[in-house]
Amino acid sequence: MDSIYNSIDKDFENGVNNRVQTCFVFESDGYLNISHAKAVCINFETAKNYNGFCNLRIDDTKFSLESNKFVDAAMDDIKWLGYSWDNVIYTSSYFDFIYECAIKLIKNGKAYVCDLSADEIREYRGTLTEPGKNSPYRDRSVEENLDLFARITAGEFADSERTVRAKIDMASPNINMRDPVIYRISRNSNHQTHNKKFVCPTYDFVRSISDAREGVTYSLCSLEFENHRPLYDWFIKEIGFEEPPRQIAFARLNLNYSITAKSKCRYMVQKGIVDGWDDPRMLTLSGMRRRGYPAAAVRDFINRIGVSKADSVVDYGLLEACVRDNLNENAPRAMAVLRPLKVIIDNYPEGQSEAIKVKVNPFKPELGNRTVHFSREIFVERDDFMVEPPKKYFRLYPGNEVRLKSAYLVTCNSWENDENGEITCLHCTYDPAS
């Protein structure tokens, strides 16, 4: 987090900002996963470090995939991680304002209605080594563009028949600046507004405007948005916000041996490969909760990997190590015998037993004790006995003395076999003074 804090500190010193307001943005089309956890921690911890604010914004611009169940699950996951937000805001609550911003761009000659299909737009855009070429509809008059935009939003045209594009630079080395689409026709229903208009703004367009409208001072985003920063700044400048947010990018969390892409997770859920988004085998936060991962271990993992701009892959073993460290310190202890082997303590009185106090957690004495019972007949794991042990074998074998957990020292003297040669019982003696 130091790199982000250093940037903010320099801004404060130079008088660029005097407050910190962040916003964690997520799409309401799936569950949050371990990669989202990094963005959650960075946004909320940064706001907390500067006594600032962090809002929760639900990006609901994918009308066909959205559901309130995803919103509820994300809120539960963020609370589970240990964070609380200042405000909950839906991007759709800004739709009217965003629409007015598009009108402003059209009136200023900075946007136009384009009749090219998606394939044609892609063809006109050019490549990384070749510039794009202007749309034949790029020079429509302001009046014509306003009329077409009004007819589009009234539902006069079919989906994909027309788009609204920003007028920037088709020769820009950054492809994102080559007249990007800012509005598409959509007849799907938004789960919040239920569609007042037959259009849907694109994510790049709503992200910049929503941040500025909301008063976000620092837009903390993962590295894949780095190439979109010039477009983000262009929208802010052309619409005329006086206090533009500053973007700070960090490398997203890539975890090996894992699947986190929403499209792939959705496929597994829909095909019944997993039981749901919260299946314990999934790396969604809800799935990790069901698996028994402590929230503190996830936060520790995010803290250990740190924040940098170098794109890298983190080993899954580090996440598991954080979970083990946390459970070792905090989890209550219990024991179970999975493959039982009977042990008879020959010199222990028959018909008697005694209660032995065992610490629930040796690192947390305040959790108290639990009771286990010691008697003439007990059970141990089959793997805890060998007739002919290898070197450095410290468990039970003939003539060896070992201590039973929280109980006595016992010595194995003999054993019994069944007709198949399987060991069925051990005969031991205990040391009453131990």
Whole-number Cα distances in Å, 419 to 380, 416, 426: 22, 10, 16
Domain ranges for the chain, please list them.
2-89+203-322, 94-201, 340-430
Q: Please tell me the predicted confidence (pLDDT) of residue 434.
A: 87
In the predicted model, what is the mean pLDDT of residues 145-173? 93
Q: Please tell me the predicted confidence (pLDDT) of residue 421.
A: 87
In the predicted model, what is the mean pLDDT of residues 170-188? 92
In the predicted model, what is the mean pLDDT of residues 14-39? 91
Query: Residues 86-104: pLDDT tens digits?
Result: 999 999 889 999 999 999 9
* Distance from the Cα of residue 406 to its chain's centroid: 41
Q: Is the pLDDT of residue 337 over 50?
A: yes
Q: Quick one: which of 98, 93, 99 has its CA closest to 58?
A: 93
CATH code of 340-430, in short, is 2.40.240.10
Q: Please tell me the predicted confidence (pLDDT) of residue 405.
A: 87
Q: Please tell me the predicted confidence (pLDDT) of residue 192.
A: 55
Q: Which helix (H) or strand (E) holds 377?
A: strand 377-381
Q: Please tell me the predicted confidence (pLDDT) of residue 1.
A: 73
In the predicted model, what is the mean pLDDT of residues 102-124? 96
| Global pTM value | 0.82
Q: Does domain 94-201 have CATH number 3.90.800.10?
A: yes
In the predicted model, what is the mean pLDDT of residues 338-357? 92
- Alpha helix (H) residue ranges in 215-261: 229-239
Query: Residues 47-101: pLDDT tens digits?
Result: 999 999 999 999 888 766 667 889 999 999 999 999 999 999 999 889 999 999 9
Q: Is the pLDDT of residue 375 over 70?
A: yes
Considering 110, 252, 290, 382, which one is annotated as catalytic? Answer: 252
Please report the sign of the dihedral spanned by the C-alpha atoms of residue 203, residue 4, residue 316, residue 326. Answer: negative
Q: Please tell me the predicted confidence (pLDDT) of residue 191.
A: 47
Q: Please tell me the predicted confidence (pLDDT) of residue 38.
A: 94
In the predicted model, what is the mean pLDDT of residues 341-356? 92
Q: Please tell me the predicted confidence (pLDDT) of residue 308.
A: 83
Distance CA 40, CA 25 (A): 9
8 Å CB contact between 374 and 353: yes
In the predicted model, what is the mean pLDDT of residues 152-164? 90
Q: Please tell me the predicted confidence (pLDDT) of residue 65.
A: 65
Q: Is the pLDDT of residue 209 over 70?
A: yes
For the question of residue 262 being annotated catalytic, the response is: yes
Q: Please tell me the predicted confidence (pLDDT) of residue 149.
A: 95
Q: Is the pLDDT of residue 195 over 80?
A: no
Q: Quick one: which of 391, 389, 395, 383 has its CA closest to 423?
A: 383
Q: Is the pLDDT of residue 231 over 60?
A: yes
Distance CA 127, CA 122 (A): 9
Considering 57, 262, 289, 299, which one is annotated as catalytic? Answer: 262
| CATH fold label, 2-89+203-322 | Rossmann fold (3.40.50)
Q: 218: which residues sit within 8 A by CB, 6+ positions away?
A: 4, 8, 17, 20, 21, 22, 46, 245, 246, 247, 248
For the stretch 150-155, contacts whose Cβ atoms lie closer than 8 Å and that sit 24 or more positions apart, written own/partner, are 152/113, 152/183, 152/185, 152/198, 152/199, 153/99, 153/197, 153/198, 153/199, 154/197, 154/198, 155/187, 155/198
Q: Is the pLDDT of residue 402 over 80?
A: yes
In the predicted model, what is the mean pLDDT of residues 274-286? 94
In the predicted model, what is the mean pLDDT of residues 29-45? 93
Distance CA 230, CA 222 (A): 15
Considering 27, 38, 178, 184, which one is annotated as catalytic? Answer: 27
219 vs 187, more confident: 219
Distance CA 168, CA 176 (A): 10
Query: Residues 390-401: pLDDT tens digits?
Result: 988 889 999 999
CATH topology agreement for domains 2-89+203-322 and 94-201: no
pLDDT bucket at 188, cuts 50 / 70 / 90: low
**What are the phi and psi torsion angles at 269 (to 5°)?**
-70, -45
